[in-house]
Amino acid sequence: MIKKYYCIHCSNNPVNHKIDKIDEVVQIFSNRLISLIPFNKRSIKIENWLFAKLNNFLRLLKILEVKENFDREEIFNRSLVLIDAAEKYNLKIRPIIRKFKNRYLNFFHFRLNNKDYYFEGLPVNLNNQIIDFDLIDNKYKLKKFLLKNNLPTAAGALFITKKGGYKYGLELDFPLVVKPQDASLSNHVTIKIQSEDELIQAIEIVKKYKNFYIVEKFIPGDVHRISVIGDKIFAVKRMPASVTGNGINTIRELIGIKNQTSQRMGIAQKNATLHTIEIDENTEIILAKQNLSLVSILEMGQKIFIKDKVNLTSGCDIIELTEKIHPANKLLFLRVKELLKIDILGIDFICQDIAKSWQEQECAIIECNSLPYIDMHHFPSEGSSQDVAKHIIELILKNTGEVA
């Protein structure tokens, strides 16, 4: 059995970073082997057809099952909002489980015009496109691609040795960011590095998690998640977990009050978008840097950040900004989607003001995601809900020959 332990740099989730490093190497070699295979529309169509036939066969053998009466707590919210939206179009999307131990697989099924369709998480390729998922999800490959196409990204380079990244960081100059080449949830990412000592520490942190890492220039601004669905664009701003003082309660008490919000659930809860704020060692370190502690009482209206990451499990706030996107930024996001040749795309975009053109401010696309958490648009902590799932269902119907 693989022994796991809790890691402060992974939102205190149980991990085994030795396995993570092995998985990274295996993934690199697998991607290189796959890149040698000549893909075309016909081969992708055959692959998807075989995948559907295999799933049908495993269902026939009762190894897999399309779960009609499913447990919502076993499904991520990005898929749940899609299931719920589909019901309005008389389209029944259901999760697939492995019957042994009743295990949910994050794969889903629907049947339309006597044809079975299967997908993972979100239906990103029902029309048999040739999609380079490794390019989209690999931070360094994407960076080179963006630079090649004169699109905004942060200057940076990839390293495997500690010495190489340290030397390059000094040449690039502070402030800096150090992050894994291929990872999610901001695990082992260090931002706004301001000194040689902080750079050394950041490299030590990232090397505990992955073999390859990126050193890049820090771009000031807020992290925006852009979801592009066909020709529709949505935006939210993710802010680190925070509390606002009332002159009465301690910071610990303010965190407890904020966690009582009905939308916030535990960090392990799949069918949730907003999560409770966990008090951990990192929280106390961040407070100490502000000359505060958990028993400090903030003045009325005084807002402080108590986490340094904007991932969902850190209890971040989500602010809906779709209506404020500048037209030039919309064209930028559509251009990225078209270049990457995918219908559904998540883009992490840093800028000072999403309502201002990207050409008039310092900004950067820091990563893309082929399987974005669209539920952020459905359940913001501030602003109006955006029905992104509806537009994905309309894409499904379009890509399968139906009319939305």
pLDDT averaged per 10 residues in sequence order, the chain, 404 residues:
80 86 87 73 77 92 96 97 97 96 94 92 86 92 97 97 98 96 87 97 96 97 97 97 97 97 89 94 94 98 94 94 98 97 96 98 96 96 97 91 60
- Give the count of beta carbons closer than 10 Å to the beta carbon of residue 231: 11
Which pLDDT belongs to residue 61?
94
Which pLDDT belongs to residue 1?
54
Q: How far apart are the first and last CA of the chain?
A: 48
Q: Find all residues with CB under 8 Å of 321, minimum gap 6, and list them.
A: 224, 235, 236, 237, 354, 355, 383
Which amino acid, one-letter code, is at 216?
E
Please provide the DSSP assignment of 153-197 as one string. ---EEEESSHHHHHHHHHHH-SSEEEEESS--TTTT-EEEE-SHH
Q: Find all residues with CB under 8 Å of 319, minimum gap 6, and list them.
A: 236, 237, 238, 239, 380, 381, 382, 383
Which pLDDT belongs to residue 130?
86
Which pLDDT belongs to residue 401?
73
The stretches of 214-263 forming alpha helices (DSSP H) are 251-259
Instruction: Kindly report the pTM of this predicted structure.
Output: 0.93
Contact 196, 175 (CB under 8 A): no
Longest dimension (CA), the chain: 66
Contact 62, 96 (CB under 8 A): no
Which pLDDT belongs to residue 360?
98
The residues facing 177 across adjacent strands are 216
What CA–CA distance (Å, rounded) separates 238 from 386?
15
Contact 141, 135 (CB under 8 A): yes
What CA–CA distance (Å, rounded) separates 167 from 181?
18
